[in-house]
Structure 1
Amino acid sequence: MINYNPKEWFTFIFRVHKSDTVRQLMPMIISLSIYVALVAFLEIQVFNLGENSHLKNITILHGMLGFVISLLLVFRTNTAYERWWEGRKLWGSLTNTSRNLAMKINAVLPKDDELNRTFFKEHIVEYAFALKRHLRGHQRESEVFQSNVIIDHELHKPNHIAALMYTRLNDLYNQKIISGTQLLFLNEEFRAFTDICGACERIKNTPIPFSYSVFIKKFIFFYVMSLPFGYVFSLGYIAVPIVVFVFYVLASLEIIAEEIENPFGVDDNDLPLTMMSKNIQKHVGEIL
């Protein structure tokens, strides 16, 4: 995720960073510029179409379709941002749940029980890192506790770690180290782990419907490709930068929506899951 100062207007305007849509769209911008210039040349120089041509009336259609495409893109970007923001809220809940569980474990365990304290400290932290790797689709050995947290690579890693903590908690109850009331007291946080994991998986595994995404792309393409036929009559060769700018705005909105609709990836605008996992590691370590 990019950290920035939202008050620096001129920095945003004149700096091109690697996540800027200009970089991604540059080949299409160049191709579109050539296309619009060719259409302008044919209409003005070759066919010598004047103001009496019916093609000039196509701008009326563009005005109506522009309103429709604007509504579609507003809905598209709002839906993508809602998914991004929900993902951020879920990881905020994971941070709070990890803190609360660590504080409760710290309260119910005997002060001299270093073995169980270390177990829960490592596994609470490892749950966050395992969920991060699970959502990004790449699992490997623990990034934090290489020798202590042993996970079967064939298993669902977050569920496996939660199950290990559940088992240890039940063992503490059977050994009379914690009471039944304390067991219920701790259960809420363990349940929250699984709820958060399931909600994150729902966001990741449920993309925008294919037909909807394809329709928007086709709509933008045909809308932009038809623009020069009408605007060349009133703008001449100035239609080249105008049409390119319209395409840049429309296509950029679609690209931004595609990038943020899965907030758990590694794109520049995705959530900083590694940083949030390290914050959990720091806070749980301080408590336990």
Structure 2
Amino acid sequence: MIVRPKTTWFRMLFVWHGSVLNRILAPLFINFLLGLLAVWASTHAARFFPHLNPVPFSLIGVALAIFVSFRNNACYGRYWEARMLWGGMKIQARDFARFVTTLTGLPKDDPQVTRAMNLMAAFVYTLKHQLRDSDPRESLAGRLDGALVEEILRRDCRPQYVLECLQAQLVAWHRQGRYGEILLESALRKLDALSVVLGSCERIRGTPLPYAYDVLLHRTTYFYCALLPFGLVGSIGMATPVISVFIAYAFLAWHAIASELEDPFGEEPNDLALAAMAVDAERALLQTVDAPNIPARVLPDEHFRLR
């Protein structure tokens, strides 16, 4: 995720990191060369390169813009839902920590309370790693005992097993008489909400937009941008390479941005900063129990990128 301070309109024109320009630079350069070819052909080889009527390009451009907007809205909807899910998960984690510290009758430094906080943090980290297909061993090693870590790692859905461990702890406290049935049900509803977050994230991660949409948009966008200079040269002449690149930049950038937002849990510049969000959730848990060692907040790097 790109997190950079507000800047002037002039400096914004030259922003590079996070602008997807590096992904479309080669197609834009080819489009510029095609614009130069169209200008040369219109003056030196008009018989071999007939002028194309710009009207069909206008109609196709409008239709293509509508289709691009539809796909961008669908991809941004996935990004927005993922953002809301991770924000809701942090809220549920805070509520769980408040429940444990105020209703169980245990001191904040009790080993059972510490284990419950670490399990909740482990849920957040295992979910992050599952969504990014990475190994959570390092994230779990300093928070849980080795036997439990190995038990978690051998599961296919690791966050689900962490929820099972949390529920077992809540039930154990209930059987010890620390709270009644109503409070147990309230606590279990918090775990149910986390289970919904887990399933919803898996749905977003496992069901991308139909591949045919991506193929159709890719083909029509690139063919349109390739033929565009030959449709413009008859009306704008020498300005064709510049105007053609500007129009192509808009369409190709929309396409590239949608490709990034389609999987909001990835590690591309405009994806969600899951690592930073996981650390923030753990910090909230540890601050609730006044833990002495709280991890530092993750900050953007020199390119304003938050991972």
> After TM superposition, is the score higher than 0.5?
yes
> Aligned pair 1:79/2:70, yes or no?
no
- 1:272 maps to 273
Distance of 2:36 and 2:101 partners within structure 1: 71
> Aligned pair 1:11/2:23, yes or no?
no
Do the aligned residues in 2 keep the contact of 1:263 with 1:270 (CA within 8 Å)?
yes
Letter of the 1:132 partner, please give it: K
- 2:193 maps to 192
Do the aligned residues in 2 keep the contact of 1:84 with 1:260 (CA within 8 Å)?
yes
Distance of 1:163 and 1:243 partners within structure 2: 58
- 2:298 maps to none
- 1:235 maps to 236
Structural mapping, 1:84-123, within 5 Å: 84-112=79-107, 114-123=110-119
> Aligned pair 1:154/2:150, yes or no?
no
Letter of the 1:62 partner, please give it: F
Distance of 1:5 and 1:23 partners within structure 2: 21
SS of structure 2 residue aligned to 1:152 = helix
Do the aligned residues in 1 keep the contact of 2:125 with 2:136 (CA within 8 Å)?
no
CA deviations 1:37-64 (Å, max 9, x no partner) are 22332332023589xx6x44x2110111
- 1:126 maps to 122
SS of structure 1 residue aligned to 2:271 = coil
- 2:2 maps to 2
RMSD: 2.0
Do the aligned residues in 2 keep the contact of 1:109 with 1:117 (CA within 8 Å)?
no
Normalization by structure 2: what TM-score? 0.86
Letter of the 2:41 partner, please give it: L
Q: In terms of mean alpha carbon deviation, does 178-187 or 204-213 score higher?
A: 178-187
- 1:43 maps to 42
Distance of 1:253 and 1:128 partners within structure 2: 32
Distance of 1:126 and 1:152 partners within structure 2: 10
Letter of the 2:254 partner, please give it: L
Distance of 1:152 and 1:111 partners within structure 2: 26
Distance of 2:34 and 2:268 partners within structure 1: 31
- Structure 1 stretches of 4+ with a deviation exceeding 4 A read none
Distance of 1:160 and 1:105 partners within structure 2: 20
Distance of 1:254 and 1:182 partners within structure 2: 49
Per-residue deviation at 1:132? 0.7
Q: In terms of mean alpha carbon deviation, does 123-132 or 228-237 score higher?
A: 228-237
Do the aligned residues in 2 keep the contact of 1:264 with 1:270 (CA within 8 Å)?
yes
Do the aligned residues in 2 keep the contact of 1:204 with 1:264 (CA within 8 Å)?
yes
Do the aligned residues in 2 keep the contact of 1:130 with 1:142 (CA within 8 Å)?
no
Structure 2: gaps (5+ residues): 290-307
Do the aligned residues in 1 keep the contact of 2:104 with 2:173 (CA within 8 Å)?
no
Per-residue deviation at 1:282? 1.3
Letter of the 1:135 partner, please give it: L
After superposition, the Cα gap between the structure-2 partners of 1:251 and 1:157, relative to the gap in structure 1 and judged at 3 Å, is: same
Letter of the 1:276 partner, please give it: M
Letter of the 2:193 partner, please give it: A
Distance of 1:47 and 1:3 partners within structure 2: 50
Letter of the 1:121 partner, please give it: M
Letter of the 2:35 partner, please give it: V
Structure 1: gaps (5+ residues): none
- 2:284 maps to 283
Per-residue deviation at 1:145? 4.7
- 1:259 maps to 260
Among all aligned residue pairs of Structure 1 and Structure 2, give the percentage whose two residues are the same amino acid: 24
The count of aligned residue pairs is 283
CA deviations 1:179-220 (Å, max 9, x no partner) are 222211211101011000111111111111111111111111
Per-residue deviation at 1:20? 2.3
